[in-house]
Structure 1
Amino acid sequence: MTNCFRILSLLLLLCTSCSSGNKLHVVLNDGFGVDEGDEVELNNVKIGTIDAIHFTKDYKICLTLTIDESVKIPADSKCFFLINVLEIEPGKSQRFLTEKDTLFAVQENNYPVNELIDKVSDFIDSSRPVRNQDTIIEQLNELNTEVHKLNEKIRPKGK
């Protein structure tokens, strides 16, 4: 009986020491494009994955993340969802998120994809028939400016 208890204790110890990472939660207003298995990044380095997606009581989207145990995320960190990636921007707090803490996304899926599609469509439509080279270059510059504006809406300045 004692050997059986020792074996069970050893198995329990092995199972708990081999956990794949810390579980955190992120709450989003919009789940557009979010899928289980998507990467979680900190400063553009993969640190985990999205394990599960479910609704909160008030129908917001709650993501369950598994984060590499070696990564310590400051409690005042911010996060936002880009296409297939949940990006965490580290804060400066000396307190770190612990198992089962929740982050609330400050900016998620606010990128106006339809605006970008409309701008590209307008550019394509205005290029038929092909106009002179100066007009095309001017339109490309305008499109580039619009893409930069949209990118600033996606990512905070300084990123």
Structure 2
Amino acid sequence: MIWEELKNSLIMTEVEAESYEDVMRMIGGALVKDGYAKESYVGALIAREKEFPTGLDVDGIGVAIPHTDVSHVKKAGIAIGVLKKPVTFVQMGTDDETVEVKLVFMLSVVNPNAHIDQLQRIISIIQDTNVLNQILEVKDAEQIIEIIREKEKSL
């Protein structure tokens, strides 16, 4: 399970960002700082987001799942960011439709084949708006980890 390795240092609440680039710098920067990604990771995230947007509207809750090429990653991990106020992302699969994102699941993927599996596991979590609302309400990394693990046990 990708959730077994969740670390408090990679779960950020009350993230203050003005743009998706700020989100990438702050949350992606945590992955770089903790040794999950190379210095090139944040720039690669921003560039990839322009080409392949990652915003999703999940029943009115904006979620983004940014990630980038494995060449910018040192080890597999996931960072979660709960934004203090929504930030505009372009919606996945579109060129210009936007979504106001409050919750970010950022991946550092080392195996391109595992990438789809990780995305599927995240989607199984984010399809439950009750889980998303719980994550948005709590301010503690440990509580977020517990909410996600409980949800995954029920799948």
**TM-score of the superposed pair, with normalisation by structure 2:** 0.30
TM-score norm. by structure 1 comes to: 0.30
The structure having more radius of gyration, on CA atoms, is 1
Q: Which has the higher helix share?
A: 2
Higher relative contact order (CA 8 A, sep 6+): 2
